[in-house]
Amino acid sequence: MPDSLNSGFTVPLLLRGQVIDEATVEFGGRRGGISFRTPDLSKHLNELTLSAPSRMADLYSISLDEIFDFLAALGKRLHPADNPYLQQSFELSRATSGLSDSILRHHYNGIPSFFERDVVRDIAERLIGIDYLEGWVEQPETIKRNTRLSIRAMGARAVHIIAGNVPVVGVTTVIRNAITRSDAIIKTPSNDPLTTAAVVRTMIDMAPDHPITRHVSVAYWKGGDEQIEQHLYDPRRVEKIIAWGGFAGIKHLTQYLQPGLDLITLDPKHSSTIIGREAFTDEGTLDSVAKRLALDVGVLNQEGCVNARVVYVQSGTDTDGLERANELGKRMFAALQSLPDHLSTPHKAFDPELKAELDALAFVEDEFRLYGGRRNEGAVIVSQSDSAVDFARMLACRVANIVPIDDVDTAVRSVNSYTQTIGIFPESLKTELRDRLAFQGAQRLVSLGGAATLMRTPQPQDGIEPLRRSVKWITDESADGAYLTAMAEQR
């Protein structure tokens, strides 16, 4: 660990184009035994929030094309090789993130691509509609011929409580805020307090007075700080709260909810896998299934909510069936060990509680077969009955549990509203099950292997459309004056 880490990092307050780095308050990071200092946010609360909504006007003095250009120019400055802010945040993330250096580097190198003009334009078009962002869109005539309706998507004043498991969360928050012409106060997480700040700081260097810059702030405060949160979560100052986060954090937020304040939650989720009996058709198929499963478990080092944890396999539960499941487990563990470094590595901070659970499996050998799990290399637990391990909720650090089943119904019934992604093999099974899985609560169905590698096309998230919800949908209805007058005169 470099000395600069030991002496403590400063996480500046980025306030509407201003950099405030007189840091006086100290906090601990979530991992790595490091701490960081920030300015005392309570002294800047009035500048942080936008109490006069009229101050949103400047965002409407520029066109969406200008916003795309602005973001594209920003993206060009976000190459880690020559951006000192990103270099510093990378150093801090190395200590606080659950991702290994090689994976972090891969994600950092990918940051500029998020800002490319076509990519941003595609998001705006697919997730909201450029015409709605840019102006009032007159709706097709309806059966009520005397009225006309126009709709526009308007920005809102929002607090974003972002997750720190992968750096891209903060990056997309900045982009989403810009294209929706919103005003963002971004609360950064203690396990990645600097990445978002690095992006916004670069923006400040580039154009401190640009409306987009003036409408994004980045701050750290400890979740639960009443003085700060009471000020912020007030419908006079903020209209939306967009919260990624743990159950306790979101539950805590709900105490501030009142009419006029909209909470959009991207809750913690668990993802799983359903593999049909076709996986065992022949050697080649089984190998490919094992590799694709290794991707769903291993990519992002299983730090994402998209990653597979419990894996239902229709191998059968008789002796032959268990043997098939064990064979898949063995091959999948081997595939996990061979994943390329930029996608997955042994976990740098293997959870000791999970390790204790894995160690204890040696005492129930009849019930569970364990591949790996000796150090931090990851593991595959193959249940020798159709029950998952009792600690399924703790599965992380590249540890998966294969559960053999006779009938896919067992897997379908395990899905609930806390299930996000389900990787499925073969495709025909996905088509067959997709309506039922959706009823059960699943939110994203992917081809096996795609859980953490797809998401290429902008799409809904966690069963909602967060972008459509983060804007305000304003309507303008017109009617002929004579038609309205006639109503008053009706007898």
Partner 1 sequence: MSDFVENLKRDPLSFVEAHYNEGFTLRGEERDAIQLAGLRKRFAELRSALPALAKLADDQGIDAINTIDDAAPLLFPHTVYKSYPLSFIEKCQFDKLTKWLSRLTTVDVSGVDTTGIQTIDEWIARVEESTDINLIHTFGTTGKLSFLPRTKTQTRLSARLNAHTIRDFNGYNSGPDVLARHPPLISPSYRHGASAIIRGMNRMAIDYAGGYDNALFLYPDAYFSADVISLAGRLRAAEARGEAGKVSLAPALLARRDEFAARESNRAQDMDRFFEQAANRFGGKDVYLFAVWPILFEWAEEGLKRGMKGIFGPNSVLSSGGGSKGKVLPPDFKETIFEFLGFRRHYEMFGMSELMTNAPRCEHNRFHFSPVLVPYVLDPVTGQPLPRHGHQTGRLALMDLLPDSYWGGLVSGDEVTMGGFDDTCPCGRTGPYIEANVRRFSEAQGGDDKINCAGAPEAHDKAMEFLVGRI
Q: Establish if 359 lies at the interface with partner 1 (CB under 8 A).
A: yes
The answer to whether 102 touches 341, Cβ cutoff 8 Å, is yes
CA nearest neighbour of 264 among 241, 282, 247: 241
Which residue lies nearer to partner 1 by CB, 129 or 441? 441
Report the alpha-carbon angle 467-473-475, nearest 5. 160
Please identify which residue in 247, 439, 473, 483 interacts with partner 1, judged by CB under 8 A. Answer: 247
Looking only at residues 410 through 429 of this chain, which bind partner 1 when binding is defined by CB under 8 A? 418
**Residue 89 C-beta: closest distance to partner 1, Å:** 24
Say which DSSP state 462 is in: T
Interaction between residue 483 and partner 1 (CB under 8 A): no
Binding to partner 1 by residue 360, rule CB under 8 A? yes
| Segment near partner 1 (CB under 8 A); pick from 245-253, 281-289, 291-299, 442-450 | 245-253
> 368-372 and 379-383: which strand pairing?
antiparallel
For 299-323, give the DSSP string: GGGG-STTSEEEEEE-S-SSHHHHH
Helix (H, G, I), strand (E, B) or coil at 236: coil
Going edge to edge, which strands form the sheet with 9-10?
9-10, 35-38, 25-28
Q: Does 390 bind partner 1 (CB under 8 A)?
A: yes
Determine if 353 is a binding residue for partner 1 (CB under 8 A): yes
Among 40, 138, 367, 409, binds partner 1 (CB under 8 A): 367
Ramachandran angles phi, psi of 333, nearest 5°: -60, -40
Single out the residue of 263, 286, 361, 454 in contact with partner 1 (rule: CB under 8 A): 361
Candidates 389, 405, 442, 445; binder of partner 1 (CB under 8 A) is 389
CB of 362 to partner 1, least distance (A): 5
Least distance from C-beta 433 to partner 1, angstroms? 23
According to the binding rule CB under 8 A, does residue 192 interact with partner 1?
no
**Any contact of residue 3 with partner 1 (CB under 8 A)?**
no
Per CB under 8 A, which region of 77-85, 162-170, 361-369, 461-469 contacts partner 1? 361-369
> Is residue 364 close enough to count as binding partner 1 by CB under 8 A?
yes
Nearest residue (CB) to partner 1, 155 versus 373: 373
Among 1, 248, 479, 486, binds partner 1 (CB under 8 A): 248
Is 136 near partner 1 (CB under 8 A)? no
Which range, of 80-88, 135-143, 179-187, 363-371, touches partner 1 by CB under 8 A? 363-371
CA distances from 413 to 192, 306, 417 (A): 36, 19, 11
Strand order in the sheet with 262-266: 18-20, 13-15, 216-219, 183-187, 157-161, 240-244, 262-266
Which of these segments, 93-101, 111-119, 164-172, 244-252, binds partner 1 (CB under 8 A)?
A: 244-252
Angle between helices 168-179 and 64-76 (to 10 degrees): 150
- CB nearer partner 1, residue 286 or residue 361: 361
Residue pair 306/421 in contact (Cβ under 8 Å)? The answer is yes
Tokens of 221: 């405060």
The answer to the question of residue 236 lying near partner 1 (CB under 8 A) is no
Here the tokens at position 334 are 């081997």
Cβ atoms 32, 95 nearer than 8 A: yes
* 398: nearest Cα among 384, 416, 378, 383: 378
- To the nearest whole angstrom, how small is the minimum distance from the Cβ of residue 181 to partner 1? 34
Closer by beta carbon to partner 1, 36 or else 350: 350
- Residue whose CB is less far from partner 1, 218 or 325: 325
The H or E element spanning position 404 is strand 399-404
Chosen residue from 57, 362, 479, 486 binding partner 1 by CB under 8 A: 362
Q: Which contacts (CB < 8 Å, 24+ apart) does range 381-387 have?
A: 381/329, 382/322, 382/325, 382/326, 382/328, 382/329, 383/325, 384/322, 385/317, 386/317, 386/410
Task: Choose which of 102, 230, 387, 475 interacts with partner 1 (CB under 8 A).
Answer: 387
* Integer Rg of the chain from CA: 25
CB nearer to partner 1: pick between 209 and 365: 365
For residue 257, the number of C-alpha atoms closer than 13 Å in the C-beta half-sphere is: 13
CB of 467 to partner 1, least distance (A): 25
Number of residues engaging partner 1 in binding (CB under 8 A): 25
CB of 220 to partner 1, least distance (A): 17
Task: Determine which residue in the list 363, 481, 485, 490 makes contact with partner 1, applying CB under 8 A.
Answer: 363
From the list 257, 299, 306, the residue with the least C-alpha distance to 462 is: 306
DSSP 102-142: HHHHHHHHHHHHHT-HHHHHHHHHHHT-HHHHHS-EEPPP-
Three-state DSSP state, 370: strand
Shortest separation between residue 375's beta carbon and partner 1, angstroms: 9
* Cis-peptide, bond into residue 346, ω within 30° of zero: no
Instruction: Please state the closest distance from residue 222 (CB atom) to partner 1, in A.
Output: 12
What is the nearest approach in angstroms of partner 1 to the Cβ of residue 389? Answer: 7
Out of 2, 140, 259, 352, name the contact with partner 1 by CB under 8 A.
Answer: 352
User: Which spans of this chain sit near partner 1 (rule: CB under 8 A)?
Assistant: 247-248, 251, 349, 352-353, 355-357, 359-365, 367-368, 385, 387, 389-391, 393, 418
